[in-house]
Structures are given as structure tokens and as C-alpha cells.
Amino acid sequence: MQMLAKQIRLEIKLFFREKEGLFWTMAFPAFFIVLFGLIYGDVAWENLGIRAIDYILPGIIVMAIMTSGIMYTAQGFVEEREKGVYRRLAVTPLKRHTIMGAQIIQRYLLILAQTLILLVVGMLAFNVQIIGNLFLFWLVLTIGAICFLSIGFALAALIRSAKAASAITLIVFFFFMFLGGIFFPMEIAPDFVAAISSGLPSTHLNDAMRAIIIHAEGIAVVWNNLLVLGAWIVASLVIAVRFFRWE
């Protein structure tokens, strides 16, 4: 445990040294919520019966989770693998499961920090409120974080080079973002798009977040969303374990 704690502290220090990663994971989502808040203000979407900013904030939280889980995780691991970082670490007393555990915990803490920043900005600047159960919100957030971290490690296992990592992770990220109902309800999309969206983890995490934050729904409403997220976790972990390479 002591070795794990030291490695977590190291991962956090390394993260704060990466100015580009710090911007995309922490500042970029906050910029989005401020931008949409200034654009929409208190404009209400009458067909949904809520303000636009109330609908968009949970989606921005999901976007931030995907940024850390998919782009930061997959790209970062592939780049470090290509540089031989893990090959060098393999000859040290540090165990590989300690390295992996520290990275997962560091990224989970990052997601918690991202979410806290977005909620504080949303509450103070735009009067957004979480009217649902906070424990259930944390539970859904945690399962969503595990889901996209699992997808990130699955992509890292499949991607062969750092050059390909940027393109592939961006494609996956934007696919999940635009078809996941982050910025607009999928009810207005064509039927074939809505059908694809219904199977995406981003859609189900969005739906669960909004059900809790906006409508104060309980586990009886969001359990099916959590099942889909769980299925994605299992499938992603199977791929990650099967194809994972340290070198």
C-alpha cells in the first residue's frame, strides 16, 4: 500500500507538469459550461420543460469523464509505452499492478476534481442544482468513470503507435459525444441515429445523470442505464486483458 500511495503521488505530480493535459482535462470542460451558459443563459427548452443549461451541464460532466477516460488514458499510455517507460520500469522493484492501480486511482481522482469544478461553476454562475440523491449521483459518476477508463485501457491495448492514438481516440471521443446526447436530446435525431445512440455508454451515463440531477429520480429509474455501463465495462476489460502489452 505504501508503494501504491507513492506511485499515486508521482502520477499526480507528473499530471500537473503536463500543461497540455491539464488544459484539456480541467480547463476545457469548464470553458464549455461557461460558453453554453453565456449563450443560453436562462433560456428554457419548452419541449423538455427545463432550462438549456440544466440539460447541458450533465452532458458536459460526461464529456469531461470521456476526456480523462478515453483521450488522456489511451493516448498517455500508448505514448509512454512507445517511449519505453514501462520497459524500464519492468526492471525496478515496482510491480506492474501497482503502476496500473496508481494510474487508475489518479485518473479517478481527476474525474472527481473535474466534476466538482463543473458543479461549482454551474451552481455559482448559472444556479444549477442537484435535486436528486447525492450518494446515487456519486455512484453513477463512479460507474461511469470506471466504464470510460476501461474503454481507454481497451483502446490502449488495441492501438499500436502513438501517432495512431491521437486519431483513433478523437474518433471514438467525438462519436460518443455527438451521438450520446450531450448537447441535444436524441429524440430529435433520425431513427437510425437514435438506434445507434441507444447502445452507447455516453447516452446511458447522460440519461442517468440527468435523471438524478434534474428529476431527482432514484435507482429504480437508472438501474437499466447502469446495466448497460456494466456491460461496457466487462467487454472493455476483456479486450484490455486479452490484448494488453507493456512494450
DSSP bridge pairs for 51: 44
For residues 21-25, average pLDDT: 79
Model confidence over 33-87: pLDDT tens digits? 888 888 877 788 777 778 888 888 999 999 999 999 998 899 988 988 888 887 7
- Which pLDDT score, from 0 to 100, does residue 52 have? 86
Q: What is the CA radius of gyration of the chain?
A: 18
pLDDT for residue 113 is more than 90: yes
Domain spans, the chain: 2-243
User: Looking at the whole model, is its pTM more than 0.75?
Assistant: yes
Separation CA 108–CA 105 (nearest Å):
5
DSSP code, position 108? H
- Of all residues in the chain, the percent with pLDDT exceeding 90 is 48
- Tens of pLDDT, residues 197-207: 999 999 999 99
